[in-house]
Amino acid sequence: MITTPQFKMSATPNIPAPLSPGWAFVVQLREGTSFDPAALCGRIEHVASGEAGNFDSLDVLRRFMQDVLRSRQSLVSGKPTSGGDRNGTL
């Protein structure tokens, strides 16, 4: 018999920051992908901008999120950021 771990979700998380739509991403994993950080594969899309790409590791996924959010912050502040490039599959 296969069992899955149970996760308890809190109705009021202990996170003080609001959940902003500008920080929302949709992550779709490829069927059968490994949960090994170096082998995580799929597609990511930033909800507010529609910017999307494929990733082939957790590092590339995180870098995409970081670059998109830095880019949006620079648009709001008017200051350029020195975000990394999106190497990998993005």
pLDDT tens for 46-88 read 999 999 999 999 999 999 999 999 998 877 777 655 544 444 4
Convert 47-69 to b/e letters by CB count within 10 Å (16 or more is b): eeeebebbbbbeebbebbeebbb
Close Cβ partners of 21 (under 8 Å, ≥ 6 residues apart)? 47, 48
Count of CB atoms within 10 A of residue 76's CB? 8
Judged against a pLDDT cut of 50, whether residue 40 lies above it is answered with yes
Q: What is the pTM of this model?
A: 0.68
